[in-house]
Structure 1
């Protein structure tokens, strides 16, 4: 595969040759030169790049350029004509929505929102940082390091378990999504006694799709023309080819059912899964509100069934949710296809978030703790988190041989244990039991990150792979490359730009033409 999960070749060759030569010419030349070493050679034409090639304008590319030009026109008009006043007509409000001056002020305005739930910003920021490092590690595995074996050895050390268990960090986002969706739905049920299904689905669409669509169009039709390099075809062009063929699945939010091999921008599987769980939550919350006993039976039954599916998938397909030492690329893809990207298998942690929202709203578990009890609570909380992450560390050591049972137990129980950690820590934060950690949890940095979190999630992989594709030299691996400052600054700047030019304007468009309140879509 290679365009998402690295092939992990020990040697990477980039060969420059005249554009009049074909891939077959290079294959024949290399075969002759290496025949004495008993090495067979295959050169794929799809891996060849011609510099300064003139690409034809397809319908998709023309449509993409038109889309981005329309956005630039609206941003220009909105910014130039912004007089600081609220628009009287919907068209004036629309232009104000695309005003860069207004949106930049909003994105850097860190005043506390009245409906903000404590702890959400900190959870989102910390887990996003952990995933950022894990994703960067995956991108680095494509890079031609001089000391590639040392790079492999480092990630086979016991401490690397914190990265190999990265699935728990994605579980955090499913918990937060379940919690926030249920929290907002409970508020609506208390006000109206019912749920506006159409309005909720429309608001969710405006929240997720515009920036998602913009990224797909850019990476499919614009980015391939921006640059070139030895691995450009593998990590950029291949994504473009897959997206041209399968983008329609992403439009319907069903792309997570077709495996990484056929998925446009594979890191967006979480969007499809989250959307499906959100839709399923709407009737479930209505049942829970009107028929409490039946609702709880459904919640527990679905969570238990999801746990059983995870366990059985491991046995049926010989896969693992933990990236054990020596795992093959095919097993990583199988783990994604048969469990990791399926909402039926990931529903447990999402429903734990729903239950926690119910507990918070009912206030039945609000009680006072002494200082000693608070310390014991936090000790138990961090103990559960550490055990969840570290327990399978033996699987990450060199020489490990795959075993069904430990892999199945980790897949089945890790979302439950991590959900327990999230619930305990979230309850403590919401009840002001953070002590000296209050300033950290309520940090302005987390509040700011919350505003650009969706853009950071979407843009990080294209930036990582852009740098992989253009790299023309071998470098020396050091752990400091995980936090490559120019790259991290690029992600920050691009995320801010995407937020103020796409995400915030379209959120405002929903409020202008469809919304009945000024409730922020960010919490939905």
Structure 2
């Protein structure tokens, strides 16, 4: 066909001129044409006249379609690009090539529209020009740049780019959904999530035929495979796929000006992170997050390759480069969450529990004034809610513990919330980092400190209950105590793991959903059994199911060995105390040594890196021997409360005790304040002193408050912490501990858009979030915690004093000779006299 000859001649002329330098006019290379390119005539008329010279074939719609398709596929990109790069100095020829593309694009608009727009011809050209201008503002993302991209990805991407040129709405939405850099970069506005929801809603049905012909029928034989893909069911629909790409700039220069620029770009780096760092628990703050919308047929590797190419092209000849990663789970499209059999069984399980609860409530209500079956009333909402909000207590209750536990729980809740806050994108991250890089932020950086009092109280209540039973001559069976603990701790934990693994991932979506929700679920699918055996704290944070539950493992393991320590104090008071003091000293020295040698930090200083945080968690924070010091302090406190009840203290002794305890409190909380400064440089000695002595100093204050309060020395502080209303928080504390991080991460994963940081208080005091935590905690308590406490009481009946050994005071020698001594220990959730105290110890908080 002569029309094709014209194109070949034109290409030959361009190539000849480029390679051999001949100054040949473009019109001489197209002598067979009725008009030249320089005359700026309509290329359509030119081709029609060429076709008519042969006399064998008249102009037809089929010829126009064939020429348009061939030009669009073979010339629109390669020839225009070749012309611009090769003969850019010939402005006239370049303008004519643009007109050629414009005319044939307008022709394609007419062919592709099922219902042609009722607009004038010049308005069609306006639409094309608008599309070109729109594209020129921000380059459309081409995911098919990867040489290894699939044919389907290439096809869908080409369709997307063509439709974008044609100003098709679905393509405009895909382009618009991709994040684009805007102003405020030096203020930390570098995370661009794009429009997640708009991208996920995109769905375009590719047309199987054009003008009565199959799609691709006018393309040469080399595109036969593409034609087959179009005709298949898998390739005829384009879905929007949202991918979150991570990019890390690499700056080889030593220029202070550039270093200052990147320091502002990364918001001073309160958390230093790398690609290989786990990002599901602590935010990878140094990386740039870029939301990109591409066809769902393209893989994460296709997106990663294209992002890397675009960024490196932007920084060419600057010495700056980018590392890019797009993880498979960070690419999402609609309906790609499988509803498997395990999810079905999980739903059935929770429906069964709800059904049992409803039936139990009805039964309990109908038999309220009659003798009811305790098994059938165990799940009654009425019964369990009454117990939950009851504030009654016995005279032997250690009342101050409830208020002190609540104080540390609130501090820990705020610390966890501040950690979750750093996952969210802000348009003024640099300003936020500068405001948080001050000494007062020590309150939120000492999260590990707030967990130590719970170990202290656990050891205290274990020893308090144990010595109390021994003094009353009651037998204590270890087997029953361990079973009692498992019955009361495992059901809420197992229910939470089941929910977060199979149901929660199906409940929402968002740019970071698969990072903070889906990734946790994937880990739990593999390692859930470690949590139920309470050994998960030995396998590292990066592969731990629900990392915030590590404290359960620590406390359970310390509780398992507590009988040895407590019996040693009972049988050999002097030697036992000396041994425990030596263990405290060894634990303190071990924390100091380990911190210095491994360069750890139990304190989240400004500029810490994620690798150091995870090493600290693995080597020290989740390792029971390193946390045993405060637990042993609790054993000493429990012993003192039993042996020195109603001790008389002078006014000077009270003043000295309050002075020392307050000094310890202030030193532990304000001592590391300089480590939170924005200009702080890590010092292993500072970190070692904090790790070794801060937990001891912090817990001394709480030991003193409990001791003087329990012995009747009241003042404003002891009266406040002894308020009986805090007993409700004790019963809820275990559920609050379990539910807070799933709710925090649920909201992080659903966060769609960039927010503005105003102040720390407005972020931390998220009332809606805390209401959700409270309601979820109540639900978990009345559906799993309280019912299984009722079942435990039915299965395991404690021996009464009358049925026990008939002695009121037991000497160490008598205990040693008794057969029950071999099984003598109590759970911290089982006290001798007080039902409220029975439930208090199990509810332990953790980081």
TM range (shorter): over 0.9
| In 2, Cα distance between equivalents of 1:381 and 1:62 | 54
Counterpart in the other structure of 2:314? 36
Alignment of 1:140-151 (within 5 A): 140-151=421-432
Alignment partner of 1:404 is 2:684: yes
Deviation at 1:118, TM superposition (A): 2.2
Q: Which has the higher strand share?
A: 2
Alignment partner of 1:335 is 2:622: no
Q: What does the per-residue CA deviation read over 1:141-179, in whole Å, with 9 as the maximum and x for residues that have no partner?
A: 101111112222222201111222222211111111111
Residues 368 and 303 of structure 1: is their aligned pair in 2 closer, same or farther, counting only changes over 3 Å? closer
Q: Which moved more, 1:373-382 or 1:206-215?
A: 373-382
Matched position secondary structure for 1:95: coil
Moved over 6 A (4+): none
Alignment partner of 1:449 is 2:724: no
| In 1, Cα distance between equivalents of 2:557 and 2:564 | 12
Counterpart in the other structure of 1:287? 568
Counterpart in the other structure of 1:52? 335
Residues 45 and 54 of structure 1: is their aligned pair in 2 closer, same or farther, counting only changes over 3 Å? closer
Alignment of 1:448-467 (within 5 A): 448-467=728-747
Question: Does the CA-based 8 Å contact 2:730-2:840 persist in structure 1?
Answer: no
Alignment partner of 1:268 is 2:585: no
| In 2, Cα distance between equivalents of 1:210 and 1:86 | 30
- Larger RCO (CA under 8 A, 6+ residues apart): 1
Unpaired segments ≥5 residues, structure 1: none
Deviation at 1:402, TM superposition (A): 2.0
Counterpart in the other structure of 1:117? 398
| In 2, Cα distance between equivalents of 1:3 and 1:259 | 14
Deviation at 1:449, TM superposition (A): 0.9
Counterpart in the other structure of 1:415? 695
Matched position secondary structure for 1:13: strand
| In 2, Cα distance between equivalents of 1:429 and 1:15 | 60
| In 1, Cα distance between equivalents of 2:455 and 2:788 | 24
| In 1, Cα distance between equivalents of 2:655 and 2:571 | 39
1:245 equivalent among 517, 522, 526? 526
Counterpart in the other structure of 1:314? 595
Deviation at 1:409, TM superposition (A): 1.7
Deviation at 1:466, TM superposition (A): 0.1
Alignment of 1:417-496 (within 5 A): 417-477=697-757, 478-479=759-760, 480-496=762-778
Residues 316 and 87 of structure 1: is their aligned pair in 2 closer, same or farther, counting only changes over 3 Å? farther
2:658 equivalent among 368, 378, 382? 378
Question: Does the CA-based 8 Å contact 2:283-2:422 persist in structure 1?
Answer: yes
Q: Whose radius of gyration is greater, 1 or 2?
A: 2
Deviation at 1:439, TM superposition (A): 4.5
Counterpart in the other structure of 1:391? 671
Residues 86 and 210 of structure 1: is their aligned pair in 2 closer, same or farther, counting only changes over 3 Å? farther
Matched position secondary structure for 2:355: helix
Q: What does the per-residue CA deviation read over 1:98-157, in whole Å, with 9 as the maximum and x for residues that have no partner?
A: 011111122122223444212110111000000000000000010111111222222220
Residues 523 and 86 of structure 1: is their aligned pair in 2 closer, same or farther, counting only changes over 3 Å? farther
Residues 450 and 26 of structure 1: is their aligned pair in 2 closer, same or farther, counting only changes over 3 Å? same
Deviation at 1:427, TM superposition (A): 1.6
CA RMSD in angstroms, aligned pairs only? 2.1
TM-score, normalised by the number of residues in structure 1: 0.94
Question: Does the CA-based 8 Å contact 2:587-2:626 persist in structure 1?
Answer: yes
Alignment of 1:158-177 (within 5 A): 158-177=439-458
Deviation at 1:196, TM superposition (A): 1.1
Question: Does the CA-based 8 Å contact 1:195-1:282 persist in structure 2?
Answer: no
Question: Does the CA-based 8 Å contact 1:10-1:148 persist in structure 2?
Answer: no
How many residue pairs were aligned? 520
Question: Does the CA-based 8 Å contact 2:420-2:745 persist in structure 1?
Answer: yes
Residues 172 and 87 of structure 1: is their aligned pair in 2 closer, same or farther, counting only changes over 3 Å? farther
Residues 43 and 290 of structure 1: is their aligned pair in 2 closer, same or farther, counting only changes over 3 Å? same
Counterpart in the other structure of 1:27? 304
Q: Which moved more, 1:425-434 or 1:280-289?
A: 425-434
Alignment partner of 1:257 is 2:538: yes
| In 2, Cα distance between equivalents of 1:211 and 1:423 | 30
Question: Does the CA-based 8 Å contact 1:86-1:93 persist in structure 2?
Answer: no
Alignment partner of 1:229 is 2:510: yes
| In 2, Cα distance between equivalents of 1:408 and 1:442 | 35
Matched position secondary structure for 1:81: helix
Deviation at 1:450, TM superposition (A): 1.1
Unpaired segments ≥5 residues, structure 2: 1-277, 316-320, 800-832, 842-847
Counterpart in the other structure of 1:71? 353
1:305 equivalent among 577, 586, 590? 586
Q: Which has the higher helix share?
A: 1
Residues 442 and 422 of structure 1: is their aligned pair in 2 closer, same or farther, counting only changes over 3 Å? closer
Question: Does the CA-based 8 Å contact 2:439-2:675 persist in structure 1?
Answer: no
| In 1, Cα distance between equivalents of 2:710 and 2:458 | 17
